[in-house]
């Protein structure tokens, strides 16, 4: 597997609209769009910066993974996503190299991406997302 680029940085937030306003007004980063991913219990804002994105994540449910992350660690960087050419091959390669995957097969992610997460216990405490976008 070869990471092609940092696809996006996922940031867990409590109030998506307020944080979008900060990035627009203070940082000058335009909002590209907002999407709700029901199966992941999350509302996502996409804010492009150069050839990568800031992905703001707000939980839509108190039992969602982003709500649990915020309860445990507070708001902030939740994951770093790397673009890969073929996610199935990337998952197989990581498993072959002995890395633990949270997702053994790709799942639907925001923006129509196929995604899979690596377990942070094997990646120096960083939740790494592999992302394949068409």
How many domains does the chain contain in total? 1
Tell me what pLDDT residue 111 has.
Answer: 87
Tell me what pLDDT residue 48 has.
Answer: 97
Tell me what pLDDT residue 82 has.
Answer: 98
Tell me what pLDDT residue 134 has.
Answer: 75
Domain with 24 in it: what CATH number?
A: 3.10.180.10
Residue ranges in the chain whose pLDDT is less than 50: none
What is the 8-class DSSP label of residue 101? B
Q: Which pTM was predicted?
A: 0.93
Number of C-beta neighbours around residue 26 at 10 A: 8
The residues, any chain, with a CB within 8 Å of residue 35's CB and separated by 6 or more, are: 43, 44, 46, 110, 111
Range of the domain at 31: 5-132
């Amino acid at each position: 597997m070869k990471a092609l680029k940092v696809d996006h940085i996922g940031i867990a937030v409590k109030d998506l609209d307020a944080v979008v306003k900060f990035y627009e007004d203070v940082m000058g980063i335009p909002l590209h769009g907002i999407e709700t991913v029901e199966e992941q219990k999350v509302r996502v804002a996409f804010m492009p910066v150069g050839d990568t994105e800031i992905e703001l994540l707000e939980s839509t449910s108190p039992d969602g993974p982003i709500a649990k992350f915020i309860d445990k660690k507070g708001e902030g960087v939740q994951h770093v996503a790397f673009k890969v050419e073929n996610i199935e091959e990337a998952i197989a390669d990581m498993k072959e190299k002995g890395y633990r995957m949270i997702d053994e097969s790709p799942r639907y992610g925001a923006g129509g991406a196929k995604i899979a997460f690596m377990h942070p216990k094997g990646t120096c405490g960083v939740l790494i997302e592999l992302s394949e976008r068409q």
